[in-house]
Amino acid sequence: MKSLNAKHIIFKSLTTTLCCLMLSLGTQYLEAQDIYAVGKIKTDTVHVGQPFDYELNIRVPSSYNIDLNIFNDTLSKNIDIIEKSEVVKTPFKDSDDMLLSQTLKLSVFDTGNVVIPKVSIPYSKSERDSILLSLSTNFTEIYVAPTPIDTTQTFRAIKTPIKQYFSLEEGIQYTGIIIVIAAVVFGIIFLIKKIRRKPTEENKEDIKPTIPAIITAREKLQTLKLNNLWQQGKFKEYYTELTDIVREYLKGQFSINAAEMTSEEILQEVGTLKLEERTFDKLRNTLHTSDFVKFAKAIPTNDENEISFNNIKDFIEDSYSHYQEVEKQKAEQEKLDKLIKKEQPTEDTENQKTEDTI
């Protein structure tokens, strides 16, 4: 009898635990199901430069903190943002969720199939929540057709040039202008010859050597560390300066115009450098943290601030080492190619001598 009671108690406990687990998973599934971001267009074909609307709809609980002020004047390299509408918030019926809607007026000046990229939108579950999440829209494709030629206009015959005759007054006028210009030119030449003198060391312009990008980046990182911005609560200023340092470094070291790019565009360009994955991840993590702080007004932890600084520092040093190694390999390959070219004529000459002997 006691054995049956014990089995009954164990079975009842397992059943209760399983029900709680299923209820928790179901709640999480429903919560995740209510959150989405969708971007769509009403047409699939436009002409070059023709404006079209890109509708952005985001559904989140009304308690969530989300900021759509993340768009500049471009959506990608070849897609310009002409106009942005106000963000409209609409509550859902029988739900605590709200729908955020915004329309972007875009234009494209390339032809062919153009992909509207995913838009990454940072958000948090409340204004005080330091855990930042991200929603991404879907890819959208649009075909951009060339500007059509108006064939309704009839062709007209080419007219012969109209002969123009100069009068005596016009000839005198133009002659006077030519004489004045010639006098001014000769006067300038005379003055230049008169005041010309040998250059001395004092009046020679100082040629300032170009400071390597790696040196500038190291100095600015040291200055940023000494300013203690995040320790004073100036998180936005701290991440702005930190990302500006790496943007300037990418411009000077790899000719990547990062100052005019979004975080995603920077990562796409850096991906072509073929860096190690851990080096690339350090840059990506810091750029994403910076976007959350600057656009979603997130408050990072002390550890996140330290990690972001060290990530940028390591990325700069590791990418510079990678650059040096690549340049070294290029130099060795060029040296080898020159050596092969020098030996090639010798082999051709020996072959010619052998043929002549035969």
- SS3 string, 186-232, reads HHHHHHHHHHCCCCCCCCCCCCCCCCCHHHHHHHHHHHHHHHCCHHH
> In the sheet where 45-47 sits, what is the strand order?
45-47, 140-145, 112-116
The count of structural domains within the chain is 2
Query: Pick from 129, 145, 161: which residue ends a domain?
Result: 145
What confidence tier does 30 reach under pLDDT thresholds 50, 70, 90? very low
Give the side-chain half-sphere CA count within 13 A for 234: 11
Range of the domain at 305: 213-335
Q: Are residues 141 and 249 in the same domain?
A: no
Residue 226 half-sphere exposure, CB side, CA atoms within 13 Å? 6
Query: Do 245 and 331 lie in a common domain?
Result: yes
pLDDT digits (tens, 9 = 90+) for 237-283: 999 999 999 999 999 999 999 988 999 999 999 999 999 999 999 99
Are residues 313 and 228 both part of a single domain?
yes
Task: For residue 178, tell me if it sits in a domain.
Answer: no
Q: How confident is the model at residue 357 (pLDDT cuts 50, 70, 90)?
A: low
> Is position 166 within any domain?
no
* 239 and 316 share one domain: yes
| Confidence (pLDDT) at 219 | 95
**Does residue 217 sit in the same domain as residue 325?**
yes
- Asked if residue 330 and residue 225 are part of one domain, the reply reads yes
Per-residue pLDDT reduced to its tens digit, 62-116: 888 887 778 888 888 889 999 989 989 999 888 888 898 999 999 998 888 999 9
The pTM is what?
0.41
pLDDT at 308: 94
- Asked if the structure places residue 240 within a domain, the reply is yes
pLDDT of residue 125: 86
Cβ atoms < 10 Å from Cβ of 125: 15
Q: Is 11 part of a structural domain of the chain?
A: no
Q: Is residue 197 part of a domain?
A: no
Asked if the structure places residue 192 within a domain, the reply is no
User: Are 138 and 241 part of one and the same domain?
Assistant: no
| Between 350 and 95, residue with greater pLDDT | 95
What pLDDT digit, counting tens, does each position of 122-144 carry?
888 888 888 888 888 998 999 99
Widest distance between CA atoms in the chain: 135
Do residues 118 and 217 share a domain?
no
Q: What is the dihedral of CA 171, 176, 177, 179, to 10 degrees?
A: 120
- Domain final residue pick, 114, 145, 176: 145
The CA distances from residue 272 to 32, 146, 265, 282, 321, in Å, are: 34, 30, 11, 16, 16
CATH number (domain holding residue 61): 2.60.40.740
* pLDDT tens per residue across span 202-231: 444 555 678 999 999 999 999 999 999 999
Q: What is the DSSP string of 100-149?
A: EEEEEEEEE-S-EEEEEPP-EEEEESSTT----EEEE---EEEEEEPPPP
Which amino acid is located at 173 in the chain?
Q
Residue ending a domain, among 120, 145, 170, is: 145
pLDDT cut 90: percent of the chain above it = 40
The pLDDT of residue 309: 96
129 lies in the same domain as 228: no
Summarize pLDDT for 182-210 with one digit per residue, the tens. 889 988 988 888 787 655 544 445 556 78
> Is 182 a domain residue?
no
Same domain, 222 and 130: no
In a domain, 164, yes or no: no
How far apart CA 96 and CA 60 sit, in angstroms, is 9
